[in-house]
Amino acid sequence: MKQQPIHVLFLPKWYPNKLDHFDGNFVENHAHAVSKVAKVSVIFVHSEEKKENEYALVQSVNQEVNEIRVFFKKPDTGLSIIRKIVTMIRYFKAQLVGYKHLVKQSSRPNIAHIHVLTRTVFLALYLKFTLKIPYVVTEHWSGYLPVNGGYRGFIKKLATEIAVKYSNGISSVSAQLKDAMLNHKLVGDYRIIPNVVDAKLFKPTKKSNTLIEIIFVGNLLQSPKRIFDIIKSMKVLHDKKITFQLSIYGEGKDKNACEQLISKLALNDSIKLKGTLTRKGIAEVMGKSDFLVLFSEFENQPCVLNEAMSCGIPVIAPDIPGIAERLTSEVGIMIPTGDISAFEAALVQMCHSFNDYDTNKIRSLAIEQFSEEVIGHQFLEFYNLALNK
């Protein structure tokens, strides 16, 4: 008799939803990878502005992933501490609403999988101590990194320590993030499982570019993405009479400032703000691009790097540990973080050498490290170890 696949319950802090279609799409990608080797359900909870106190539940199926989203009324009390307490109570109640609906129309999960701490641990702890369902944690959040400094506050730290203590395993998307968590005394059984890429979607495309096509994908923020510095550096290519176009895909609070800067530098013909696209749309334009640029202050293990590699295009990126773990000379040029002169030199170099990179080699490196099949089996091994504890 064929053994039934294990049922994994994802409990993400971030996940695509009606309020933000791109929120935590890297968690969604992990869910798709795991669905290749296990049964996957997702319970995602979020507050929203509404009059009623009822919990609104929306269920959908996304590439064999059973998604349950529960929305609750955002507290409107003026006192911050009371508002936070009410939010936590309503969040947990919403998780229970989602869980009761799940077991009524499906089956009880074998294991829970938290993505990003800490409020997500409420249901995980409840299931562990009432139904003996173990849970594991995958952390994506850069707040643990010293350069970010977001991991602070007594309550936050206490809740995180409890969540880690009772987990049956922890994974992080980079060794850098693991080390940062250990430095905060978050001791546990860690595994490094990077972000995943859909290699069937992100793939090389036959190019017929009349100029050098450069692509940036990310939030339009000076901190941490250094988007202004990226735009300013393109002046070097313009001054050297290199014919190029930088296509910028993303949104963010610095969008208007980006538009003004492009006009000030008289680069309107060479730099285009393209807004947001679906994953399929990004895959199509990335496959047609000649190379990708990043110049962030900090990153964990950026999905866009995996996607560019899967498309077989080289990259320019800073030597942030989470990137340096994966970026070799076969894939692109790594420059010192924050070094604008080095970034400008790399741009000029790449404009003359992007055709020298082996598209098939770059793509094979991506598939070996980030494909859904590889990541799915890494998570399955992770779950089995947790279940056998």
CATH code assigned at 122: 3.40.50.2000
Give the pTM.
0.93
Q: In this predicted model, what pLDDT tens digit does every residue of 208-253 receive, in sequence order?
A: 889 999 999 999 999 999 999 999 999 999 999 999 999 999 999 9
CA distances from 206 to 279, 286, 287, 313, 359 (A): 19, 11, 8, 12, 11
Domain coverage including residue 295: 212-369
- Compute CA 130 distance to the chain's CA centroid, rounded to the nearest angstrom: 32
- Give the whole-angstrom CA distance, residue 226 versus residue 230: 6
Q: What tokens appear for 94 in the block?
A: 């919403």
- For residues 133-170, one letter each, b for 16 or more C-beta atoms within 10 angstroms of the residue's C-beta and e for the rest, the string is bbbbbbbbbbebbeeeeebeeeeeeebbbebbebbbbb
Same structural domain for residues 105 and 164?
yes
Mean pLDDT (whole number) for 14-38: 95
Other residues' Cβ atoms within 10 Å of the Cβ of residue 2: 4
Mean pLDDT (whole number) for 288-301: 96
**Residue 355 belongs to a domain:** yes
pLDDT of amino acid 120:
97
- Give the whole-angstrom CA distance, residue 275 versus residue 219: 10
Same structural domain for residues 163 and 217?
no
Same structural domain for residues 170 and 86?
yes
User: Can you tell me whether residue 242 is helix, strand or coil?
Assistant: coil
Number of H helices, E strands in the chain: 13, 14
Length of the chain in terms of residues written:
389
Longest dimension (CA), the chain: 69
Mean pLDDT (whole number) for 277-298: 96
**Strands annotated E in the chain:** 7-12, 39-48, 56-62, 65-73, 111-115, 135-139, 170-172, 190-192, 212-217, 244-249, 271-275, 291-293, 315-318, 332-335
Q: How confident is the model at residue 67 (pLDDT cuts 50, 70, 90)?
A: very high
pLDDT of amino acid 217:
97
Same structural domain for residues 139 and 250?
no
Same structural domain for residues 236 and 152?
no
Q: What tokens appear for 150 in the block?
A: 């977001």
Mean pLDDT (whole number) for 9-20: 95
Q: In this predicted model, what pLDDT tens digit does every residue of 175-221 receive, in sequence order?
A: 999 999 999 999 998 999 999 999 999 999 999 889 999 999 999 99
Q: Write the DSSP symbol of residue 6.
A: P
Q: Is the pLDDT of residue 1 over 60?
A: no
Same structural domain for residues 243 and 167?
no
Phi/psi of residue 67, each to 5°?
-105, 125
Mean pLDDT (whole number) for 284-313: 97
- Give the whole-angstrom CA distance, residue 198 versus residue 366: 10
pLDDT of amino acid 81:
85
Q: What's 54-115 look like in SS3?
A: CCEEEEEEECCEEEEEEEEECCCCCCHHHHHHHHHHHHHHHHHHHHHHHHHHCCCCCEEEEE
**Residue 84 belongs to a domain:** yes
**Residue 2 belongs to a domain:** no
Same structural domain for residues 226 and 298?
yes
Q: How confident is the model at residue 2 (pLDDT cuts 50, 70, 90)?
A: low
